Amino acid sequence: MLDAALEQKIGQVRHDWTLEEIRAIMDQPFNDLMFQAQTVHRANFNANEVQTSTLVNIKSGGCAEDCSYCSQSSRYDTGLEKEKMMAVQEVVDKALAAKEKGATRLCMGAAWRNPNKKDFPIVLDMVKMVKGLGMETCLTLGMLDEDQVQQLKDAGLDYYNHNLDTSEAYYPKVITTRTFQDRLDTIDKVQKAGINVCSGGIIGMGEAHKDRAELLRTFANMHHHPSSVPINLLVPVEGTPLEHMRGKTDSFEFIRVIATARILMPHSYVRLSAGRMELTDEAQALCFLGGANSIFYGDKLLTTDNPESDHDTVLFAKLGINMQADRSAIKSDEKSA
């Protein structure tokens, strides 16, 4: 049970969380944690509604980074072929198909360290075209400079995804080709431009329990909380340094991270992201109970499998969950500050 002083802070939008406070929240009895997370969730969102996004890999393979979990790194032999940039019309067609199935946002990902001059204008066209369909747009392109951020802003980009992946202390054990601060710098540029940030992490890469708490602390203490916080369960890929990590993370530990994220960031969408194939329907139901209210919808997440959309429809029906249709009235700590 939490001490009275900390319990009074549950549900508040704060940017000064201590590691000790976060550990106390995450480590309390499971039922208490879930009750608090659900209470915070209901105070800020429709408890039976989930936002759905579809992820499209607009350019796969050949990335120069050495992220130890990634099938798209050119440093590992994962059997993935490097592909050219997807045509704008193909992206539009995929967006229309996703919209027809209920997705409200199209997330487009390219395997880059940072965008190149040749392909960046094509990406800007993709953003404009998808926006024209009445969908929200999200991109993940690696690191950005200020000029690129401004061009994305002018094109109407709604969200930029740039995950921190893990704690600052554990980060060098996973990635060496860019620093933790590099990622924070890109997030800062995006937020200053007025673009919503989507940033989360990966659970199950060999990090300690305290690293998960530290990762959440980094997000929770940002000047503006990320509008969307995807929590991924590692999907080990053959040929990567982390291929041996399958089944190393207890599902209850994963759910605790979801619930703690909900409590620390009351107005953010917490996305149950990659790794759902590793979770039972019952474990996913507990994630939704713990405050997850966003998913990727479709059978593929870049290069990893995702539950088929029909399976999600059946699961949502069992749980009485509806797909969110309109995101125009988004709540965020930026608007409430």
9-55: pLDDT as tens digits: 999 999 999 999 999 999 999 999 999 999 999 999 999 999 988 88
Distance of CA 146 to the CA centre of its chain: 23
Task: With CA atoms as reference, report the closest residue to 269 among 221, 204, 199, 322.
Answer: 199
Phi, psi dihedrals of residue 67, rounded to the nearest 5°: -55, 120
What's the average model confidence in pLDDT over 199-227? 97
Report d(CA 126, CA 286) in Å as an integer.
Answer: 36
Report d(CA 329, CA 46) in Å as an integer.
Answer: 12
Q: Is 271 annotated among the ligand-binding residues? A: yes
H-assigned helices in the chain: 4-7, 19-27, 30-44, 88-100, 120-131, 146-155, 180-192, 209-220, 251-264, 281-289, 309-319, 333-336
Sorting pLDDT into bands at 50, 70 and 90, what band is 332?
very low
Question: pLDDT at position 336, please?
Answer: 36
SS3 of 301, please? strand
Question: pLDDT at position 84, please?
Answer: 83
What's the average model confidence in pLDDT over 231-253? 89
Element (H, E) at 58: strand 49-59
Report d(CA 84, CA 15) in Å as an integer.
Answer: 42
Long-range pairs for 172-180: beta carbons < 8 A, 24 or more residues apart? 173/68, 173/206, 174/67, 174/68, 174/69, 174/205, 175/65, 175/66, 175/67, 175/68, 176/66, 177/64, 177/65, 177/66, 177/67, 177/113, 178/65, 178/113, 178/143
Report d(CA 256, CA 27) in Å as an integer.
Answer: 8
What contacts 115, CB < 8 A, 6 or more positions away?
A: 123, 141, 142, 144, 148
What's the average model confidence in pLDDT over 118-125? 94
Q: Is 198 annotated among the ligand-binding residues? A: yes
> Highest mean pLDDT range out of 90-99, 182-191, 248-257, 315-324?
182-191
What fold, for 37-323? TIM Barrel (3.20.20)
Q: Is 63 annotated among the ligand-binding residues? A: yes
Taken as a whole, the chain contains a residue count of 337
Q: How far apart are the first and last CA of the chain?
A: 29
Q: Is 75 annotated among the ligand-binding residues? A: no
Report d(CA 46, CA 44) in Å as an integer.
Answer: 7
Sorting pLDDT into bands at 50, 70 and 90, what band is 112?
confident
What contacts 323, CB < 8 A, 6 or more positions away?
A: 49, 50, 51, 52, 102, 104, 297, 316
Q: Is 107 annotated among the ligand-binding residues? A: yes
Report d(CA 84, CA 111) in Å as an integer.
Answer: 11
In the chain, the amino acid numbered 245 is M
The mean pLDDT value of the chain amounts to 89
Q: What percent of the chain has pLDDT over 90?
A: 68
Q: What is the pLDDT of residues 282-328, one digit of tens each?
A: 999 999 999 999 998 765 454 555 566 678 889 999 999 998 875 44
| pTM for the model | 0.89
Q: Is 70 annotated among the ligand-binding residues? A: yes
Residue 140, pLDDT above cutoff 60:
yes
In the chain, the amino acid numbered 126 is M
**More confident call, 76 vs 147:** 147
Q: What percent of the chain has pLDDT over 70?
A: 93
Distance of CA 307 to the CA centre of its chain: 16
Catalytic residues: 63, 67, 70, 107, 138, 198, 271
| Residue that has been written with the tokens 């487009």 in this structure | 108
Phi, psi dihedrals of residue 330, rounded to the nearest 5°: -65, 135
Token output for 188: 């800062």
Residue 237, pLDDT above cutoff 60:
yes
| Domain residue spans of the chain | 37-323
What contacts 25, CB < 8 A, 6 or more positions away?
A: 2, 6, 10, 33, 36, 260, 263, 264
Report d(CA 226, CA 280) in Å as an integer.
Answer: 27
What's the average model confidence in pLDDT over 202-227? 97
Token output for 83: 């592909």
